[in-house]
Amino acid sequence: MSTPEGNEQPHVPPPSLWPVGFAVGIAILLTGLVVGPAIAVLGAVLTAAFGFLWVRDLRTEGTPLPQPPDDVETQPGAAPAAADTGPALPLATEEEVERFPRSRFLEGATLGLGAAIGGLVTVPALGFALGPAFARDDPHEADVGPLEAFPQGEWRITTFLSDPEQGEVSRRTAYVRYNGLREGLPSFTILSSSCVHLGCPVQPNGPIVEDEAEEEEVGDTVVRRIPTTPAGFGCPCHGGAYDVEGRRTAGPPVRPLDRYAYSIRNGRLLLREAFSVGEVDNAGADAVLTRYPRSIPGVHVDGISRILYPLPAPPGF
């Protein structure tokens, strides 16, 4: 506080809408973590812009406090005396006002509390939303048998463990067909059994020859191969239908069946990571795919529709 002798009056920050904009930016940012990356980026930009303007206003001079009339007499070092009483408490010195300004304390407390609340809300959400996108699963290769176990042009329902350390809970099913040679190398079509509508298990639309099932111990796991002759594949949950190349032919699925990448080592077929497919042209060894990182069921992976869906976390192998 200053005295009427001409010292400069303290100032208070003017009224501002920047805190409201900052709060709106935080809300849009958190909404974008669920809706999509474009909304999250917009929220981050708004939060940064309004936060900067808010801090700038807090650090600049505001409206000066009203000064007392010139005809009011005051005694140096003391507050004006009330009627029939002695002097009030002494005024704070200029050094004390400069060292302990209440406005600075409130400014720091407000910013610190806002940062703490923002961190408590934002950091966990960012961790859950963005953490899986940067995670890298162990590139486990599942040995599903020798090449001779897959006759050319025939399908095998193949079950295997995607993560032997987890045991049977990681057992997966793939539909494997050997297409013959392409450019001198064996070609396979390996479809995932997970429906791309809601993840129900897809079944072959055709006979399954259980009597000719083969089981093979591979390390500490058991691989099972069952012959089948499907005319296509169908989902018993909601009526999704696919042809033998995994292309959607009817029902609610939004894209073709996911596929597995594969390797061939020492005459054996090794299944690697699964991936999503946008389009499938031609068939068998001549099939041409548009390949994408594996996405969750119900999400488009190509075309204009994909920007309407959030960035999904990559599922397990």
Q: Taking 90 as the threshold, does the pLDDT of residue 186 lie above it?
A: yes
Return the ∠ at Cα 20 (arms to 16 and 22), rounded to 5°: 105
Q: Taking 80 as the threshold, does the pLDDT of residue 225 lie above it?
A: yes
Kindly give the residue spans of alpha helices, DSSP state H, lying in the chain.
Answer: 18-35, 37-58, 94-99, 102-134
Mean pLDDT of the chain, nearest integer: 79
pLDDT attached to residue 50: 84
Least confident among 139-148, 178-187, 271-280: 139-148
Q: Taking 80 as the threshold, does the pLDDT of residue 108 lie above it?
A: no
Matching residue, tokens 């506080």 = 1
AA letter at 250: A
Q: Taking 90 as the threshold, does the pLDDT of residue 49 lie above it?
A: no
Q: Taking 90 as the threshold, does the pLDDT of residue 158 lie above it?
A: yes
Provide the 8-state DSSP code for 84.
T
Distance of alpha carbon 297 from alpha carbon 141, whole angstroms: 23
| Confidence category of residue 311, pLDDT binned at 50, 70, 90 | low
Tell me: the pLDDT tens digits for 52-89?
Answer: 887 777 766 555 555 555 555 554 555 555 555 555 56
| Confidence category of residue 6, pLDDT binned at 50, 70, 90 | very low
Residue 208: which of 225, 222, 191, 194 has the closest Cα?
A: 225
| Confidence category of residue 149, pLDDT binned at 50, 70, 90 | very high
With a CB cutoff of 8 Å and minimum separation 6, the contacts of 243 are 232, 233, 249
Provide the 8-state DSSP code for 219.
T
Q: Taking 80 as the threshold, does the pLDDT of residue 313 lie above it?
A: no
> Mean pLDDT over residues 219-248, rounded?
93
Distance of alpha carbon 35 from alpha carbon 308, whole angstroms: 8
Q: What stretch of H or E contains 155?
A: strand 155-161
Provide the 8-state DSSP code for 287.
-
Q: Alpha carbon 60 to chain centroid distance? A: 39
Kindly report the pTM of this predicted structure: 0.58
Ranges 4-13, 227-236, 299-308, most confident: 227-236
| Confidence category of residue 317, pLDDT binned at 50, 70, 90 | very low
| Confidence category of residue 38, pLDDT binned at 50, 70, 90 | confident
Distance of alpha carbon 1 from alpha carbon 7, whole angstroms: 9
Q: Taking 80 as the threshold, does the pLDDT of residue 28 lie above it?
A: yes
> Mean pLDDT over residues 263-282, rounded?
92
pLDDT attached to residue 73: 54
Provide the 8-state DSSP code for 235.
-
Q: Taking 50 as the threshold, does the pLDDT of residue 292 lie above it?
A: yes
